[in-house]
Amino acid sequence: MNVSVLITNYNRHKLCDEAVSSVLAQNYKGVEIIIVDDGSDEANPNQSRYAKLGLKYISQKNSGQAGALNVAFSNSLGEVICLLDSDDLQEASYISSIVDFFLREPECDVLYSAPIPIRHPISIANEADILRRIRDLSPTGPVVGHSLICLTKPYAWVGNPTSGISMRRAAAEQLFPLWAPTSWSLAADQILCQKIALKNLNVFRSNRLGFYYRIHSANGYFNPSSRIFYESTRSAVLSEARGRAGCIFTKKEIVQQFVNKRKSLGWINLFCGLINRVPQLIFSGGGICEPTNWIKCRLIRSKG
């Protein structure tokens, strides 16, 4: 299976080069890399090197992350589409594990992978214990009730970080182009995950991890203001997506599809998510490094 990795960048040329290098280091052959620079203030000094490596590099006027992803996808050819933010990294076996998963699970349309939080690339060598614990706790298999929770959960966004989302091309063709409001520089993951729910695609999770989520002041992993933004814009995302043809959007239909696909583990996960009110508990790493478990996460780091 040919794979396209879509990387969007804005003013993070050094980090973007690290992201690109992590894809080039994959142990899987047949990877197409598409980099879209979304109107950075300065030219990327690595652009000529990318050209020599045969990578697709596209510069455009600033349109936000979702707009940049739209351009990247329109220039892609892969049977599998992987997304990667310019400040994140892929472990060397990440793409091969994703391809294996899609081959093993023909019903899977979209695959969510849990993030491995890192503070700095140097700390990757110290993350082994955290990775093992997340892998043990993170569920694998179909995410039962994904559409139900995404569209009816009244308090926050439920989904997955952009860099941990991959999909079959047939699914991507239903999702792109994404709604790309020019006033939003971020939130492409929210827009994408809500549309995945509205399209009623089959979402799976894998505990075969390998994507490193870099924590810094400019992203929203532990940033309360970002989560407030997600909540305040959720209705706008749904309103826009519901206006597009082919989307499932009535609660009756969403509840029915959940009932049709119910499994005991899915019911338990759904119940725990509703009781705990943890926005990303089910879909982003089993909760071990989520904001509500930050103290526990720090203890694990100190032991590692």
Q: 3-state DSSP helix/strand/coil percent for the chain, to nearest 5?
A: 45, 20, 35
Q: What is the mean pLDDT of residues 58-87?
A: 95
Q: What is the pLDDT of residue 200?
A: 82
CB 232: neighbour CB atoms within 10 A?
Answer: 9
- DSSP string across 241-299: HHTSTT----HHHHHHHHHHT--HHHHHHHHHHHHHT-TTTTTSSTTTTSGGGHHHHHH
Query: What is the domain-level CATH number for residue 221?
Result: 3.90.550.10
Listed in sequence order, the residues at least 6 apart from 132 whose beta carbon sits closer than 8 Å to its beta carbon are none
Q: Name the least confident of 172-176, 210-214, 240-244.
A: 240-244
Q: Which range is most confident: 77-91, 185-199, 284-298?
A: 77-91
8 A C-beta contact, residue 88 and residue 165: no
Residue 243 burial (CB < 10 Å; 0-12/13-18/19+)?
Answer: exposed
Tell me the DSSP string of 92-130: TTHHHHHHHHHHH-TT-SEEEEEEEEESSGGGGGG-HHH
φ, ψ (nearest 5 deg) of residue 246? 90, 0
Check whether 262 has a pLDDT greater than 70: no
> If we measure between CA atoms, which residue out of 213, 120, 199 comes closest to residue 160?
213
Please, are residues 60 and 37 in contact by the beta-carbon 8 Å criterion? yes
Of the chain, the end-to-end C-alpha distance in Å amounts to: 37
What is the Cα–Cα distance from 115 to 83, expressed in whole angstroms? 13
Contacts of 251 (CB under 8 A, 6+ apart): 151, 152
State how many domains the chain has: 1
- For residue 26, which phi and psi values (nearest 5 degrees)? -60, 145
CA–CA separation, 80 and 219 (whole Å): 26
State yes or no: pLDDT of 123 exceeds 50. Answer: yes
The per-residue pLDDT for range 138-185, each reduced to its tens digit, is 567 787 667 776 766 654 456 788 999 999 999 999 999 988 877 666
Quote the pLDDT of residue 287.
30
CA dihedral (124, 130, 136, 141) positive or negative: negative
User: Looking at residues 258-285, what average pLDDT do you find?
Assistant: 47
Q: Are 293 and 287 in contact (CB under 8 A)?
A: yes
Task: Quote the domain boundaries for residue 37.
Answer: 3-303
Q: Give which of 176, 157, 187 is closest to 244, Cα–Cα.
A: 176
Closest CA to 191 of 63, 80, 69, 58: 69
